[in-house]
Amino acid sequence: MKINNSEIIPVSEITPYETYMGRRDFIKAASAALMAAPFLSFNSEVSAATNASLLGYTKSPYGADEKLTSYNEVTNYNNYYEFGTSKSDPALESKGLVTHPWTVSIEGAVKKNKQINLDDLLKLAPLEERIYRMRCVEGWSMVIPWIGIPMSKLIQWAEPTSNAKFIEFVSLADQSQMPGVRTNILDWPYTEGLRMDEAMHPLTIIAVGLYGKLLPNQNGAPLRLVVPWKYGFKNAKSIVKIRFVESMPKTSWMKAGPKEYGFYANVNPMVDHPRWTQSTERRIGGGLFTPRIKTKLFNGYAEQVAHMYAGMDLVKNF
């Protein structure tokens, strides 16, 4: 398959897990105060910023038997290109992101075409903790205890019309707070989309926290999409607009690399990325020599979601 390299992010800009861990181990082991002091200060600030506990959420049965990825790994190894292309950039560069107050604009084919603030949005349904397996297109995965509300509750509140076939999610793109937005890595603002039945599915949530704490900035605060049977890039972060539309939206990664990133982005071990296999993955948190495990179709959620794609060519509709 011929790939237009001008349209995609060079693989050199994507930090492999092994490289990232090597850098972090080096920082931990370094005895020079010049290097150690900023690192320790950074971790103290992150801890303080995520100290507030979320109260009043219930635990759902989703993922109760899964081994969780550590809070440190979940919050310090991220893809969030608004803050840089290295996995460590989001935690370092997002500390100043202002996430309160926060409003989301509900637009398009809905009866309630209006803005809703975060506090009112969270009143639409009780908060739940759901432990989901999450799979990145680059071959690494995590198990994260998300806290949020079903996306279906927001959809029901918005009252979409019969013209609403898809939902487009638009993320914040603020150059003053997000250094990555000052580059042309992607066509900003970051946009993603779901088919209406995907958005309404019980597994799809709007997350506002993880590990019993408010969502850290580097993980998409104050609210982000979580769709566990799809690759991680589908999970739009720091959402400011939700548009109900009739036609399939052209998302950011579809624009950047249409031969590499499709609209559906269902986890599928039988459809490789042009530059690497998707048949196996490495679970983050097991160390440098963690063995790769077999990737499951729909990330292991086939029983719950496969019916939505019955009769579809999952190679063509990747």
pLDDT digits (tens, 9 = 90+) for 9-26: 443 344 454 444 444 443
pLDDT value, residue 285: 86
**CB of 208 within 8 A of CB of 223?**
yes
Q: What percent of the chain has pLDDT over 70?
A: 83
pLDDT value, residue 12: 37
* Burial class of residue 223, CB neighbours in 10 A (0-12, 13-18, 19+): buried
Cβ atoms within 10 Å, residue 245:
18
Cis omega before residue 101 (within 30°)? yes
The four Cα atoms 66, 267, 158, 239 give a dihedral, to 10 degrees, of 80
pLDDT of residue 297 exceeding 60, the answer is yes
Q: Which of 15-19, 25-29, 72-76, 151-155 has the lowest mean pLDDT?
A: 25-29
| 107 bridge partner residues | 243
State the average pLDDT for the chain: 86
pLDDT value, residue 21: 46
Q: Which of 11-25, 152-166, 265-279, 304-318 has the lowest mean pLDDT?
A: 11-25
Q: How confident is the model at residue 52 (pLDDT cuts 50, 70, 90)?
A: low
| 266 bridge partner residues | 230
Q: Which of 17-21, 117-121, 196-200, 305-309 has the lowest mean pLDDT?
A: 17-21
The four Cα atoms 231, 103, 45, 80 give a dihedral, to 10 degrees, of 30
pLDDT value, residue 51: 44
- Alpha-carbon 254 to chain mean position: 16
pLDDT value, residue 55: 73
CA-to-CA separations, 253 to 115, 231, 233, in angstroms, rounded: 27, 12, 8
Cis omega before residue 222 (within 30°)? yes
pLDDT of residue 302 exceeding 60, the answer is yes
- pTM given for the model: 0.85
Q: How confident is the model at residue 56 (pLDDT cuts 50, 70, 90)?
A: confident
Distance between CA atoms of residues 178 and 198, nearest Å? 30
Domain 50-309 CATH superfamily: Oxidoreductase, molybdopterin-binding domain (3.90.420.10)
pLDDT value, residue 289: 79
Distance between CA atoms of residues 57 and 64, nearest Å? 15
First to last CA, the chain: 15
**CB of 308 within 8 A of CB of 197?**
yes
Q: What percent of the chain has pLDDT over 90?
A: 78
* Burial class of residue 90, CB neighbours in 10 A (0-12, 13-18, 19+): buried
Query: Each residue of 170-203: b (16+ CB within 10 Å) or e?
Result: bbbbeeebbebbeeebbebbbbbbbbeebbbbeb
pLDDT value, residue 1: 39
**CB of 247 within 8 A of CB of 195?**
no
pLDDT value, residue 47: 38
Q: Where are the domains of the chain?
A: 50-309
**CB of 180 within 8 A of CB of 84?**
yes
Give the tokens for residue 79: 């893809």
pLDDT of residue 296 exceeding 80, the answer is yes
pLDDT value, residue 25: 40
**CB of 103 within 8 A of CB of 117?**
yes
Read off the pLDDT of residues 174-224 as tens digits, 9 standing for 90 and up: 999 999 999 999 999 999 999 999 999 999 999 999 999 999 999 999 999
